[in-house]
């Protein structure tokens, strides 16, 4: 039996082969609400954290997903690539990094994510609170962040640390599961298994 490639290699390959499609960088992020009900939304892939397999997502700290992640830090991504017919379900724990995080390394990661975002993307964090009723019929005032100023208070960086990945390729009818564990040195290792689609 041949060597199975890692889920990250499969994902990078899918991103590359679907790169002509703008929507290939969008995926669904599901959380668990305080009521125990599922909550789902579409977010943008912002890359991996360094050389790791941790997935970065930018979000507004005033959204409901932040409270849901504080209540239950586990989440699942569902990512479907329409050209290559591949689905990735990535399950793991999410670390919420906001401006009050005591870790200077995490604050630096948040700042790096802020400056990696376009100015247009940064503008959304200056608007009214997401999810609240619109109190004015007037369009929001145009405001523009100083391009050299660091993250605003509403900006959060989410880091999803995967522990399970379910990969399905509908073109070749192949399904693989990847499960992480720690070796004796405490380093994360991935095991894969081919399963029925």
Does residue 141 lie within any of the structural domains?
no
Of 97-106, 130-139, 152-161, 185-194, the poorest mean pLDDT is in 130-139
Does residue 46 lie within any of the structural domains?
yes
14 phi and psi angles, rounded to 5 deg:
-65, -40
More confident residue, 110 or 134: 110
Q: What is the pTM of this model?
A: 0.90
Does residue 144 lie within any of the structural domains?
no
The pLDDT value given to residue 146: 73
Does residue 135 lie within any of the structural domains?
no
* Structural domain range at position 76: 7-129+149-195
144: pLDDT strictly greater than 80: no
- CATH number for the domain harbouring residue 92: 2.30.110.10
Does residue 96 lie within any of the structural domains?
yes
The chain-wide mean pLDDT, for the chain, equals 91
Count the domains in the chain: 1
Does residue 177 lie within any of the structural domains?
yes
Instruction: State the burial class of residue 147 (Cβ atoms within 10 Å of its Cβ: 0-12, 13-18, 19+).
Output: exposed
The pLDDT value given to residue 2: 46
> pLDDT for 154-166, tens place per residue?
999 999 999 999 9
149: pLDDT strictly greater than 60: yes
Does residue 159 lie within any of the structural domains?
yes
The pLDDT value given to residue 137: 63
Which residues have CB under 8 Å from 122's CB, separation 6+?
A: 114, 145, 152, 155
Does residue 1 lie within any of the structural domains?
no
Concatenate the DSSP letters of all residues of the chain into one string.
-PPPPPHHHHHHHHHHHTTTSGGGGEEEEEEE-TTS-EEEEEEE---BSTTSSPEEEEEETTSHHHHHHHH--EEEEEEEETTTTEEEEEEEEEEEE-TT-S-HHHHHHHHHHHHHS-HHHHHGGGSSPTTSPP--SSPPPP----TTS---TTEEEEEEEEEEEEEEETTTTEEEEEEEEE-TTS-EEEEEEEE--
The mean pLDDT of 186-193, rounded to a whole number, is: 92
Of 35-39, 58-62, 165-169, 184-188, the poorest mean pLDDT is in 184-188
> pLDDT for 100-131, tens place per residue?
999 999 999 999 999 999 988 898 898 888 87
Pairing of strands 74-81, 55-60: unpaired
């Amino acid at each position: 039996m041949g060597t199975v490639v890692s889920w990250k290699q499969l994902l990078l390959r899918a991103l590359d082969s679907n790169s002509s499609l703008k929507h290939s960088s969008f995926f669904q992020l599901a959380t668990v609400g305080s009521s125990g009900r599922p909550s789902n939304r579409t977010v943008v892939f912002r890359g991996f954290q360094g050389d790791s397999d941790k997935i970065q997502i930018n979000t507004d700290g005033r959204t409901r997903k932040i409270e849901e992640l504080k209540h239950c830090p586990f989440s699942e991504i569902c990512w479907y690539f329409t050209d290559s017919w591949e689905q990735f379900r990535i399950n793991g724990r999410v670390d919420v990094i906001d401006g009050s995080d005591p870790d200077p390394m995490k604050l630096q990661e948040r700042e790096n994510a802020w400056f990696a975002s376009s100015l247009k993307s940064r503008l959304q964090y200056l608007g009214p609170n997401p999810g609240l009723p619109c109190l004015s019929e007037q369009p929001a005032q145009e405001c523009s962040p100083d391009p050299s100023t660091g993250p605003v208070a509403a900006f959060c960086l989410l880091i999803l640390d995967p522990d399970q990945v379910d990969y399905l390729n509908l073109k070749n009818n192949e399904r693989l599961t990847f499960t992480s564990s720690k070796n004796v040195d405490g380093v994360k290792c991935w095991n894969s298994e081919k399963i029925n689609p």
